[in-house]
Amino acid sequence: MFRMLVMSEMLGVPNPASYYTAELLPVLYDGFHDWHPRMGMERSPLEEYRCC
């Protein structure tokens, strides 16, 4: 499965799961700030997403 996804990305075929993953982003953003302090990170580990 992994090889098939990597090969399809190399050939330019879009990943079918990316559409469904994009729908989850608003739900994940809401809980992101709660998650990273629990993991011991003072600030967001992602440079492009600042929540603090």
Instruction: Kindly report, residue by residue over 33-45, the tens digit of the pLDDT.
Output: 788 788 888 777 7
Joined together, the tokens standing for residue 18 give 């990316």
Q: Are 29 and 22 in contact (CB under 8 A)?
A: no
Which whole-number Å values give the CA distances from 48 to 7, 12, 15, 34, in the listed order?
28, 25, 23, 17
Cα distance between residue 1 and residue 50, in whole Å: 34
Confidence check: pLDDT of 3 > 80 = yes
In this predicted structure, what is the pLDDT of residue 14? 80
